[in-house]
Structure 1
Amino acid sequence: MLVLFDLGGTLESDGVLRPRAMETLRELTDLRSGGRPAVVLGLLSDSRAPAGPADVAAIVAEYRTLLGELGIRRFFEPLSRHVTLSAEVGVRKPAPAVFRAAVARADPTLGFGDVLFVTEDAGHVRAARRLGMTAVQVRPSGGAGGDVAALPDLLPVVRDLLTRGPAGLAATPGEARTLLGGHVVVTGDGAADRRPAPPGELRVAGAAAEQLVLVVQNGESFRVDHPEVPVLLDAGRHLVVELEPEVARRLEGSGGSCWTLRPLPAGAVVAAAPAVEGLREVPDPVRRCVDRLSREELAADLATLVAHSTRHSASGSFDAAANWAAAQLAAAGFTVTTQPVPRGGGRCRNVVADRSGTGPAPRDVVLVTAHLDSVNRLGPEAPAPGADDNASGSGGVLALARALAGSLAGSWALLDLRLVLFGGEEQGLLGSRRHVEELSGPERARVRAVVNMDMIAGRNTPERGVLLEGAAVSRDLIDALARAAATHTGLAVTVGLSPANSDHVPFIDVGIPAVLTIEGADGTNRRVHTEQDTLPPLDLDLALEVLRMNVAFVAETLAGG
């Protein structure tokens, strides 16, 4: 579970820790479930408003300095995941988006029902409870009231919540279970059972349970980079490995956009099959949009993109590909602009295409995104055709634009539509981070959903499949996409709740519902980020199935669905 604290007035007052704050944080950190840490600690604080995007880094640095001066910084490491400031999100408490951002960033596998929010502010307690969190008001310093009188009084509350177990995942006492699709990891007393483990079950007992690490990888990138690390469980995109803490800390953040390490969450669903309820009747505008998808046009677009020897973000070929894609989007009736991404190089930019809806202003907006750049792990000069990663996703955005173009002129499309081809994804999600940073608070609040396409044409399983990867904040979006897949395709759908390594992540980090649509079992794909990522291995029928799902969802949502 996540224990999410406010800082000012709750843990500290006038630069001094409140009585027994340090002991309370230490005792929470020591709690265990199935031999693994039972609690993740987080901070959610309002901060001064930034003068502009460049000012956010200074505000974050000031806050981190304060944590160091208070002596509590170590409880919230890594700070990039466990600390959320209103300056980063664009809104202040009690706005729901700032709570969503903090939970998604700290542990995306958790829903609001798995969160305890602690503050001295009664209004913020009410806001958290409306979202479904457990929320506790600590008595203000020198004041009266509150749900608990002092910080140590939180410990019985946390222990009681832990006995109920994580939402939707039952385990026997003394045991913790983590689900990864058709696999389960069991730690604690039950893991010491001497009977053979059932197929798909990994049991880890004793101290080794604390060293379990979740790897989220693109292709087999982690296994290629670190063949020396033994893999305890292979679930395709997700791996479970055992790493000494100092080794895990050394590797933290070194995977770039290829792979990410996280502590394996105790009692969580990392990946699962979706629950698809009754299918809806398909409206005529939605069906017409789906039927406009063209295999021939998709194949032609992929051939054009792959004809560049590389689409590295700093190259002239990326510049040429961006100009060509912008022209295609303009021809489909979109208003096209570009957004510089300076950190990606002088030519790096995002291509942004907008089409207005017919509903009353201010309207929500739906985003469909993909990254246009490609990379070879051997360096920027090495051949990087990037057919699957990510000509397939970029071509998918163009295909969706054409499929919707003819119908968007009608009055049925109430919401706005924005298509974005990002640069700099392979260098660390630079384009998507830039786009999110430059969205004002009101603009972020307008975003109804983000559908990201990254690697949609590599068939790695006997049946064509798609992974819908998001976070708890994305569950409604995931369910709607799964319903569209069941209605319009024969795709086998799996759901991942540990987002990493693609352009949906910066949106989730600020509380915006976003989902990556990616080929199923992409963890078996060894071609990505090499010169072998070419057209012949691609399965265009898989790409078209993913596109049918995405087009159907977008069309239905634009119509107000």
Structure 2
Amino acid sequence: MLFRVAASATWLTFFTIATHASGQFSKHTAQFHFESDISDDQFENHYNEPGFELNLDDIRLVQFSLDEDAIWITERQKLHAKAMGKKYLDITDAPSNFGLLFEKPHFSYPPPNSSLVAPMLPLLSIEEMKINLEYFSSFRTRYYNSESGRASSEWLLQKIRNYTAELATPEQKALISVEPFYHKWKQASVIIRIAPNDSAGSDPITILGAHCDSINKENPFLPAPGADDDGSGTVTLLEAYRTLLKFKYIPTTPLEFHFYSAEEGGGLGSQDIVAAYEAEGKVVKGMQQYDMTAWVASGSEETVNIITNGVDAELTQFLTLLVDRYLDIPWVKETTPAGIGSDHLLWNRAGYQACHAFEGLVAYGNNDNIHTHRDRIDASHEFSFSHVHQFAKLAVAFAVELSS
């Protein structure tokens, strides 16, 4: 394994492992070229920040494209790739039979027709989302293997439990569980489950997901408020859940809200959860990811960007119908260039039907601020809570249309 830094470019040579049907492994090398002046020690804890557990020499198995073999690299090299804008999945701890335990049923989605969604939407509160995001982005960082990352997920868990205690009816409370999902690292994921009394364990689940971690790509020990990425998606789902409680909504099939830890580490938290659900034989009717919902670039049209790669085509088409019916802005479709995206990919990879809607066209995204100390609510007038409000409408619509 070679990691060589030059003045004008960084070259990485890796051992690549490909799994074949016979169960045997073959090895070859692959070379990636990053034009960069990043030094080898940039990601060290030069600031002596306490509360982190980060071994930069840990060896990880990473996939940069769904169409390419996975490669062994160090945690330091993962951070270098993140700094250069490279997206990846970290599949080091994925079970060897991930996605293969059983054949997933395929669902079709009729056009949206619920009479419950429209009267719920006026209950959504922009002010509530702003209050929540101001607090959630006040943690110095939500890096998944830090004490502040742990504290942020503990706050999120308690906030959800407070909503449930204050707003849920006795009938709803009997159906709701709010639990942390613990991982090998410090920050937990959080899962809300609303399951009807007569719902068997095999009933299909509707899942809405967002990731609750953040990272500073320049150095993980630096501040990373993560207001847009993905604090905005987190408060979108928080507000959708609060609205369902206020409306006294009870689904007919199980409904879950997931807040994933360690997405920025390569989908680590959602990978753990997908593996656990598959091992338990859980059936998923549909999963939608909310990763960044706040940015509207100056001079661009306000839209919902429906991602077309790494998703289920039928569920994605259903998503466009939800936007048409319930939102005040149009949708556009885009194929993202990298081939690796957010937590929905882990569900898709395991054979479940998943989809993803993004805050706008990638070219007009919050590209200069995310993964830095500048990802704040007050970074620009382009940070729009009215845009987050549109995605909260979509979350309510997706949750109710698929679970009622």
Q: Secondary structure at the match of 2:312?
A: helix
Q: Contact 1:289/1:555 (CA < 8 Å) preserved in 2?
A: no
Give, as a single letter, the amino acid of the residue that structure 1 aligns with 2:346.
P
Q: Does 1:294 align with 2:131?
A: no
From 258, 278, 299, the counterpart of 1:420 = 258
Q: Secondary structure at the match of 2:259?
A: strand
Once the two structures are superposed, residues 360-397 of structure 1 have per-residue CA deviations (whole angstroms, 9 ceiling, x without a partner) of 42421111111111111121221111110111011112
Give, as a single letter, the amino acid of the residue that structure 1 aligns with 2:158.
A
Match of 1:329 in 2: 160
Aligned length: 309
For 1:307 and 1:280, the matched residues in 2 are separated by 38
From 317, 340, 351, the counterpart of 1:479 = 317
Match of 1:464 in 2: 302
Q: Secondary structure at the match of 1:259?
A: coil
For 1:356 and 1:300, the matched residues in 2 are separated by 29
For 1:226 and 1:358, the matched residues in 2 are separated by 57
From 1, 24, 42, the counterpart of 1:66 = 24
Stretch moving more, 454-463 or 435-444: 435-444
Going from structure 1 to structure 2, the CA distance change for 1:463 and 1:507 (only over 3 Å counts) comes to same
Counterparts of residues 95-106 of structure 1 (less than 5 Å)? none
Q: Contact 1:388/1:534 (CA < 8 Å) preserved in 2?
A: yes
Give, as a single letter, the amino acid of the residue that structure 2 aligns with 1:365.
I
Match of 1:388 in 2: 228
Q: Secondary structure at the match of 1:528?
A: coil
For 1:419 and 1:323, the matched residues in 2 are separated by 16
Q: Percent of pairs identical after alignment?
A: 21
Q: Contact 1:289/1:552 (CA < 8 Å) preserved in 2?
A: no
Q: Contact 1:470/1:514 (CA < 8 Å) preserved in 2?
A: no
Q: Contact 1:480/1:553 (CA < 8 Å) preserved in 2?
A: no
For 1:319 and 1:280, the matched residues in 2 are separated by 38
From 312, 317, 321, the counterpart of 2:148 = 317
Stretch moving more, 458-467 or 307-316: 458-467
The structure 1 segments of at least 4 consecutive aligned residues displaced by more than 6 Å after TM superposition are none
Match of 2:86 in 1: 259
Once the two structures are superposed, residues 244-284 of structure 1 have per-residue CA deviations (whole angstroms, 9 ceiling, x without a partner) of x9xxx99x9874594349xxxxxxxxxxxxxxxx975550x
Q: Secondary structure at the match of 2:377?
A: coil
From 263, 285, 294, the counterpart of 1:448 = 285
Q: 1:289: how far off?
A: 2.5
Once the two structures are superposed, residues 272-317 of structure 1 have per-residue CA deviations (whole angstroms, 9 ceiling, x without a partner) of xxxxxx975550x212322221101000000011111211112222
From 388, 396, 399, the counterpart of 2:239 = 399
Q: 1:509: how far off?
A: 0.4
From 392, 398, 401, the counterpart of 1:547 = 392
TM-score, length-normalised on structure 1? 0.50
TM-score, length-normalised on structure 2? 0.68
Going from structure 1 to structure 2, the CA distance change for 1:226 and 1:464 (only over 3 Å counts) comes to farther
Give, as a single letter, the amino acid of the residue that structure 2 aligns with 1:478.
T
For 1:474 and 1:492, the matched residues in 2 are separated by 20
Going from structure 1 to structure 2, the CA distance change for 1:317 and 1:441 (only over 3 Å counts) comes to closer
Counterparts of residues 70-469 of structure 1 (less than 5 Å)? 226=35, 255-256=81-82, 258-260=85-87, 282-283=114-115, 285-333=116-164, 334-342=176-184, 345=185, 347-357=186-196, 360-361=199-200, 362-410=202-250, 413-441=251-279, 443-444=281-282, 446-460=283-297, 462-469=300-307
Going from structure 1 to structure 2, the CA distance change for 1:504 and 1:473 (only over 3 Å counts) comes to closer
Q: Secondary structure at the match of 1:332?
A: helix
For 1:545 and 1:423, the matched residues in 2 are separated by 24
Q: 1:515: how far off?
A: 1.5
Q: 1:403: how far off?
A: 1.2
Q: Contact 2:307/2:357 (CA < 8 Å) preserved in 1?
A: yes
**Structure 2: tracts of 5 or more residues without a match:** 1-17, 38-67, 89-109, 165-175
Q: 1:490: how far off?
A: 2.6
For 1:443 and 1:406, the matched residues in 2 are separated by 32
Going from structure 1 to structure 2, the CA distance change for 1:456 and 1:409 (only over 3 Å counts) comes to closer
For 1:450 and 1:436, the matched residues in 2 are separated by 11
Q: Secondary structure at the match of 2:348?
A: helix
Give RMSD over aligned pairs: 3.4
Match of 1:526 in 2: 368
Q: 1:348: how far off?
A: 2.1
For 1:465 and 1:480, the matched residues in 2 are separated by 17
Q: Contact 2:180/2:190 (CA < 8 Å) preserved in 1?
A: yes
**Structure 1: tracts of 5 or more residues without a match:** 1-59, 79-212, 214-221, 229-244, 262-277
Q: Contact 1:358/1:414 (CA < 8 Å) preserved in 2?
A: no
Q: Secondary structure at the match of 1:480?
A: helix
For 1:360 and 1:556, the matched residues in 2 are separated by 17
Q: 1:332: how far off?
A: 3.4
Q: 1:550: how far off?
A: 2.1
Once the two structures are superposed, residues 203-223 of structure 1 have per-residue CA deviations (whole angstroms, 9 ceiling, x without a partner) of xxxxxxxxxx9xxxxxxxx9x
Q: 1:500: how far off?
A: 2.0
